[in-house]
Structure 1
Amino acid sequence: MMKQWDISMLGTVASNYDVETNLGKSRSVFVNSQNTVQFWIKRISKAPKSFPNQYYFTGYATELEKFGFHDDLRKPDYIREEDVRNFLENYLVVFTPIRKQTASGEVFLARDIELLRKADTFQNRDIFVPVPVYSQEKHGYSMEEFCQRTKAKKHVGKIPKISTESNDTPEFVFWKESEEVVYVIGSFSGHSHAHGGFCFHCQQKLKVQVLPEMWLDDMYEASATLSFMSIHMYDSLKALLSDTEPFEVAIDEVAATASQIDRIEEKAEEEAFLQHFIRVTKAEGLLYAEKDLVNFHTAMKVSNLVILQGMSGIGKSRLVHAYAKALGIHNERQMLFIPVRPAWTDDTHVMGYTDLLNNVYRASDSGLVDLLIDASKHQDKLYVVAFDEMNLARVEHYFSQFLSVLEMGRENKEIRLYHEKLKTTLHNAEQYPPTVPIGDNVMFVGTVNVDESTYHFSDKVLDRANVITLNIMKYALLQEDSLIETTPISYERYTSFRQPTGFALSGAEIDLLWDIHEAMHKADARTGIGPRVVRQINAYLQLLPHTGSMTREEALDLQIVQRVLTKIRGAEEVWRPLVGTYEKEKGDIVAGELLVLLEKYKHLSTFAHTIALLKQKAKELKLHGYTY
């Protein structure tokens, strides 16, 4: 008995780890008992909702001959297997799934195989969505007619090899005007299907927008009427259409204004940069979830200071290096790593001092002043300053000037080296002027380990920083990719990632922050959520990249962890009513005011990270009578 689904799926040759873990097989490519090389394909595209929960399909080397592959039977088996693997590694596989009943059970086969060369940006964990493609060439009418037919609830034509079931409605379709010009049309809430093909239903007004040209390079055409798009890009289509006028307003504005296209291309550029950053971290052998990398990148865009904390040895410093490398920063003039010393008590250790005996300014050997001067002369370049083990000394002592000026307007952000009166007496005043401006092209980041040998951050520091706790992924994913070539990113291009799009906080989100502030202020009158923190949370949500790796709900949750809960530290009698009581038997917390607030606003987020941190703090209060 055999069943064939009339759909196309996208897959890639499975790894040995994949089939060993999921199928109990030792190899993903092998010579079978009929002396034919057989291989496993891992499905990486979304399947119809009625499709079995099946991800692995088997194919045969004989189906690769039409693509130029030749299986040399004279070679040893292990060489033949390696030849097939090497051949398939460069391609994605489009196939039709078949289920066949055999004496040993069900077998899922891949038939009608087609090969598509992988794009340079392909990631092994990418998931793809099939998208219908309409065109005048294939369907016989213009895009305007397509939109008019859709509005009139008429059938618009067939799309082979895609599910037509009622619960598999494509949210968007593409209109292919030419090889270089493709539009996205949507969004659709339902459909029917008959002899005339699809009839799409819209709950809201139909919108049309041109796809950024660079997106086309990362889409895979299975046929003239079907493309596969990564789920990250697919999720971004809503944002792409959000600022677009409805079709009813003006069909001649379909191609969008120049400013709209610029914004679209900026979003696409940022997504391309993030994918590049992810590849660089992999090449460096770092084990971080994509949402953690998106979190770090977003924080670097919006925060004057980003602090990375986590257990020793997980690669916090290497992550900063990887980010600089992704930006194309390779030289010491633009990337400065400063190891903090416990003896630092003021900013002379970091910056330098005035030697009045010899009438010179002596810059610290940290190199910070030299970097800031260089950055002020080259404002088209990006600079990264990292403080390693930042809390070995008190940050508010050696970093005091910076904490004061980083929140100022761009025209006022400058560090004073010495008094203006000394300029005429110092021999090297031309090299080291009295004040040095700090441009937005300089980013500050610190790494910290939290133990008994380090200092805790003051509110003055926490008000200005995103404190990110890094976690690592499973060791099984540890594999270094090949080295990645990087091209420097200009300050202008990076600044385009920072362009605001309007006030991001909703009324409910503002109410949540205010309620948390009041609860914290009630517990300790010296703490709460200041307007500065609210503005920076707003900026973070405003500039969250539309990659699909992190939702707005998760971003809000993380901002409460990184910008608010960092201030909850102190004695049990102060914080237990707010945090709650940890019950060891249940492994949970009860009777906490913040938990009640989170339940009240559960429509905004699950607050999984916030609740996890509250549980940790409640446990610390119970065990030590104090939380950090």
Structure 2
Amino acid sequence: MSQLYIGVWNHKDQFGNFSENGGIFFDRNSKIMFNLQILNASRSELSDKQIHVFPRELEKISFQDNFYDDNETRRETLKNFIEGKIFIFKVSEEQQDNPYAYDIKMHIKNNDFHNDDKFEEIPILMDSENNYETIKNKLIKGETIRSRAVSMISNKLDSISSFMITKSSHDENWILFENVTAVSTDGMESIQYQKPSENFPITVRRIVDDTAMDGYYYDNGDDRNINHNIMFVPTRYLRENDSQLEKFTKIVTRRLGLTENDNEGIDESSQDVDLLFLKQFHEVIKSSEYQLLLNEDNIIKLHTSIKSSLLTILAGLSGTGKSKIIKAYAEALGILNGDLGKGQHNDIPEERFKFISVKPSWQDDSDLLGFADTISNNFRPGDSGIVDTLIDAKKNPRFIYIIVLDEMNLSRVEYYFSQFLSVLERSSSERYLTLYSKYLETRLYNSDKYSSKILIPENVRFIGTMNIDESTFELSDKLLDRTNIIELHTVPFYNKKDISHRSMKDVKSANTWHNFEVGLLNYSSNGGSLTEEQLQFLWELHSEINDELPNVGISWRTIRSIDAYINKVPSTYANDIGKILDWQLSTRILTKLRGTESMLNSLISYDEKEKKPKGKIINILDKYSTLSDFQESRKKLLIKSKELKVNGFAR
């Protein structure tokens, strides 16, 4: 079995243009077929691809093509058949470059269908061994749940829905579990969710009126015995800032297994773990121990980047406190060494914050990871300690680990971090680093502890700091594609009065202090993603840049990264996606614009008369001004245009 997808007819033609009959075409045997567009909210390698529906699959959903009609008539017939329909299907796994749909089930679009809808794939766990009572007990204990529905959802932990559905055994009511966080799955029939805690309470709702939810779709289950496994629900129905969830459900308990009276005395803010963490982070950075002043946008950028990307880089002037900011972030998470006290939390690992100072002499990944000593027949882990940290993180998937590479561009990142850059974009189950050749495993005495390959698990985040001066190396496009670079804004010195004199001891002793677990990284308050207009803007920008600089542009990897970033932004910024798009444009795309004046002149140059930048990129920003004011991007372009004018090149 494999993951189920939901989708609609994709109107794009072979050149990526939308048209009335786009996406309907003929194969080499003159048989008609069409393309589907995936609408699953969870991102995958297939999300942006056109999924083929071959003629044999069209026949299975009862489409009859008259081969003797002219091609335009045949197109019109198929158009009438698939227009107004929505499809649930599986996708071939053996042809990722040319994927096709199979096991297709066709539905009529419900009245509440929106063209920009994305659908959450919520598993329905109601096999013979599962009902509300058994699942509730397994969630409280953190036990593994077995169900065939697991094989039909994404096997990527950060893509699994935070909702889950089952049925009450005594009154046959549908039950919706909210704020569940998957911590492991075999991708087949087993899934384990994080135990409810003060930081991550699970809400239980009874579905009382599913007629108020007109936009949802079931999969069709088995042909022999209809047994639904997945419910596809528009993400706009499930967000807390939308009243729709309250229309068709009634809360049974807000904190499963945590309190005797679940419906009383609940702090509503605790339901949004992003806001809970950010409040705590503010208290830490302003404490007497840290005394940091941070721009609010920088705080949101840092937190969102850490959630959505495995690698984040803090850049800025020397002395701006980059290393201290990261330590404060770890402090706010509650993961600094010794934070938890001995004997009090025996199940919580102590060392989850690893600080590594990069050395200028590092030339390859063995300087960071270590090497196989074939003389003594042992693997010698690097002095950095990163290998042991990764091993520990894999053993403790509930907890967040942060690995810091301080002044990471003192040496060429592409040399000592090369393996990491190659695997960071892979799915969590395939993110393996090679420590040494596999054939040496039988020869090394400590291969039971240090196997030839080591996994970078989903609960690990890398954060780098870097200065930009003559003593450091520039970053390559390969690195820029895989990270968010956060350039720290200097806060006015006179704001020093805002620093608190409250000690960290007092901050931690307060009743509001929390230690956060891995669910924070997967939390999304808005379920947002790039809109069609935003994608059109990015395509036009790519086309202009790529025409002038053939080796530069916006890749699918960049699109996926921007999409993931938008999805993880805190709720306080969810209504200002234009600003978020501007941030990503400034850091992920415009940083690649470097070269001589003759190379960049048509894209960006300095207008002496108007004292501002001009060129093709500015024209595109002006054209799409309804999306954003692009304030940060315009500032960056102004700096680059001045560099070109004065120096003749831009870094």
TM over 0.5: yes
Whether 2:478 is the aligned partner of 1:460: answer yes
Count of equivalent residues: 386
Q: Deviations over 1:73-109 (max 9, x none)?
A: xxxxxxxxxxxxxxxxxxxxxxxxxxxxxxxxxxxxx
Q: In structure 1, give the amino acid aligned to 2:314.
A: L
Partner of residue 560, structure 1 = 585
Partner of residue 542, structure 1 = 567
Q: Partner of 1:349: helix, strand, or coil?
A: helix
Whether 2:626 is the aligned partner of 1:603: answer yes
Paired residues for 1:139-538 under 5 Å: 240-242=240-242, 244=244, 253=249, 268-283=272-287, 284-331=290-337, 333-478=351-496, 479-482=499-502, 483=504, 484-485=507-508, 487-491=514-518, 493-498=519-524, 501=527, 504-538=529-563
Cα displacement (A) at 1:265 = 7.4
Q: 1:376 to 1:241 in 2, by over 3 A?
A: closer
Q: Deviations over 1:146-193 (max 9, x none)?
A: xxxxxxxxxxxxxxxxxxxxxxxxxxxxxxxxxxxxxxxxxxxxxxxx
Distance of 2:270 and 2:514 partners within structure 1: 17
Alignment check: 8 A CA contact 1:582 1:622 kept: no
RMSD between aligned residues: 2.9
Cα displacement (A) at 1:450 = 0.7
Alignment check: 8 A CA contact 2:526 2:571 kept: no
Q: Partner of 1:445: helix, strand, or coil?
A: strand
| Length-normalised TM-score, structure 2 | 0.56
Distance of 2:245 and 2:514 partners within structure 1: 36
Q: 1:550 to 1:508 in 2, by over 3 A?
A: closer
Distance of 1:432 and 1:302 partners within structure 2: 29
Cα displacement (A) at 1:245 = 5.7
Q: In structure 1, give the amino acid aligned to 2:391.
A: I
Q: Deviations over 1:477-500 (max 9, x none)?
A: 222441231543122x22442588
Distance of 1:553 and 1:544 partners within structure 2: 12
Alignment check: 8 A CA contact 2:310 2:424 kept: yes
Question: Which residue, out of 599, 606, 617, partners 1:594?
Answer: 617
Cα displacement (A) at 1:576 = 2.0
Distance of 1:376 and 1:481 partners within structure 2: 38
Asked which structure has the greater CA Rg, the reply is 1
Distance of 1:575 and 1:358 partners within structure 2: 55
Q: In structure 2, give the amino acid aligned to 1:613.
A: K
Distance of 1:550 and 1:468 partners within structure 2: 21
Q: Deviations over 1:432-456 (max 9, x none)?
A: 1111111111001111111111111
Distance of 1:431 and 1:507 partners within structure 2: 49
Q: 1:245 to 1:418 in 2, by over 3 A?
A: closer
Distance of 1:505 and 1:258 partners within structure 2: 31
Alignment check: 8 A CA contact 1:267 1:545 kept: no
Q: Partner of 1:547: helix, strand, or coil?
A: helix
Partner of residue 141, structure 1 = none
Q: Partner of 1:280: helix, strand, or coil?
A: helix
Q: Deviations over 1:384-424 (max 9, x none)?
A: 01111111111111001111111111111111111221111
| Length-normalised TM-score, structure 1 | 0.58
Q: 1:496 to 1:302 in 2, by over 3 A?
A: closer
Q: Partner of 2:387: helix, strand, or coil?
A: helix
Q: In structure 2, give the amino acid aligned to 1:309.
A: A
Q: Partner of 1:514: helix, strand, or coil?
A: helix
Q: 1:266 to 1:399 in 2, by over 3 A?
A: farther
Cα displacement (A) at 1:586 = 4.6
Q: Gapped runs of 5+ residues in structure 1?
A: 1-212, 215-235
Q: Partner of 2:244: helix, strand, or coil?
A: coil
